[in-house]
């Protein structure tokens, strides 16, 4: 394995930067290419067939061009739908991102867990299976919040977040039977930890937020244990679609050690 072979992080937008932040803590010297499919954003409103074809196709071409040592699909929606297909296509390890139901079930005291994701994520059988395996005897209340993806994208570009979006999510969850007992909130989209402060203000400090970023980072570090890393220059941030889609991200990228955005 070449020491400068990168880790490829892939997401529909900037949400996967929350995974990148976790990865820097455990593999600070690893070269990274972050790929944001801005031309395909948002994924949550697309069909399963559209998402599977797009993600597998893009990652096949990206793997051929960039020769990564590992690929991480840093997107819950893409992972719950296309992870198996991508693993069949690529010849390198592929790490997915799934809703953190298992740790949430271990944390809850009331037995009631809220789960916020995209519409495509919350309806997947994969999520049903996670609930059956790890949250038996618990109440899992799911809500689709596609507007939060756009809000997180805007926030990272320095724009304000509409409080009504957060209030609507809170109202919908707590209005469900048993919703008033929610004490743990699963952020089932990598974009959503970018809104942790806004969510904490709405749900209160007693509701713990759980996401999978640190667990994913540990999994990547485990799979790459013993490998050597040698970065040449800043990490790369590439986007699909016009470069104008990355406008406003300059500060967020620079503080994370990325060079200027590039078009794939």
- Residues with catalytic annotation? 75, 189
Among all chains, which residue has been given the structure tokens 């031309």?
39
SS3 181: helix
Please tell me the distance from the alpha carbon of residue 37 to that of residue 34, in angstroms, as a whole number. Answer: 10
Tokens of 157: 């570009």
SS3 175: helix
Round to whole Å and give the CA distance between 99 and 116: 9
Dist CA 44 CA 191 (whole Å): 12
Distances (CA, A) of 248 to 154, 196, 245: 9, 20, 9
């Amino acid at each position: 394995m070449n020491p400068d072979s990168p880790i490829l992080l892939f997401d529909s937008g900037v949400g996967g930067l929350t995974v990148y932040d976790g990865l820097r803590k455990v593999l600070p010297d690893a070269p990274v290419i972050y790929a944001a499919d801005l031309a395909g954003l948002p994924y949550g409103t697309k069909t399963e067939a559209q998402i599977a074809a797009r993600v597998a196709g893009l990652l096949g071409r990206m793997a051929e061009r960039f020769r990564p040592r590992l690929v991480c699909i840093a997107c819950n929606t893409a992972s719950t739908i296309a992870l198996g297909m991508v693993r069949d296509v690529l010849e390198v390890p592929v790490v997915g991102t799934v809703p953190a139901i298992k740790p949430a079930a271990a944390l809850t005291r009331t037995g009631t867990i809220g789960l916020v994701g995209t519409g495509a994520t919350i309806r997947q059988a994969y999520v049903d299976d996670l609930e059956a395996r790890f949250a038996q005897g618990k109440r899992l209340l799911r809500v689709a919040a596609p507007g939060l993806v756009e809000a997180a994208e805007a926030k990272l570009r320095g724009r304000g977040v509409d409080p009504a979006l957060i209030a609507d999510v809170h109202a919908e969850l707590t209005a469900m039977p048993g919703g008033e007992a929610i004490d743990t909130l699963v952020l089932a989209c990598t974009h959503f930890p970018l809104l942790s402060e806004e969510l904490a203000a709405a749900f209160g400090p007693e509701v713990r937020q759980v996401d999978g970023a640190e667990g994913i980072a540990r999994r990547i570090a485990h799979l790459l244990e013993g490998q050597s890393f040698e970065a040449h220059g800043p990490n790369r941030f590439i986007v699909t679609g016009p470069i104008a889609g990355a406008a406003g991200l300059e500060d967020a990228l620079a503080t994370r050690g990325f060079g200027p955005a590039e078009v794939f």
